[in-house]
Structure 1
Amino acid sequence: MGRIIGIDLGTTNSCVAVMEGGEPVVIANSEGTRTTPSVVAFSKTGERMVGQVAKRQAITNPDRTVISIKRQMGTDFKVNIDDKAYTPQE
């Protein structure tokens, strides 16, 4: 049997855990923290950023940063970045 993985996709922060020995263990992200800001951003060169890196650039690049999109999942809502329309799931 494969590993059991749980994802908490939060409006503000998200985290991932795996079951180990019958107990959930939260996986640290690449920055070593247990939660990741639920933020996606696009640099002017098209690079996609997620988490804390995306949140940090939200102040200087708000038009290319997506925050609080979770509530729009499953709807027709789209975010336009560089003439490309992204659904909340993307």
Structure 2
Amino acid sequence: MKIKTENYKFFQNKDCEYFPCHKIDDIEKFNCLFCYCPLYALGEKCGGNFKYTESGIKNCTYCNLPHIKEIGYQHIQGKISEILKKVKKD
């Protein structure tokens, strides 16, 4: 009997010169899978902890949402349809 795993939901690159790129309590649960967050393009609808700079640039420095092992993957998958709507050719 094959054991079902979900390893595709988690990846860590401890050799990265920026690892970890955000402060997190448990470094063993830091997920690098979405190094560049695909939800950035959703602006205020991404669901993460971001701020806009004075010049209007979205700053995700304090957002750990995509990097949280237990919820990041599920959250992003739940928002993918919104991303697809933004980029769909009419």
> How would you bin the TM-score normalised by the shorter chain?
under 0.3
> Greater strand percent: which structure?
1
TM-score norm. by structure 2 comes to 0.26
TM-score norm. by structure 1 comes to 0.26
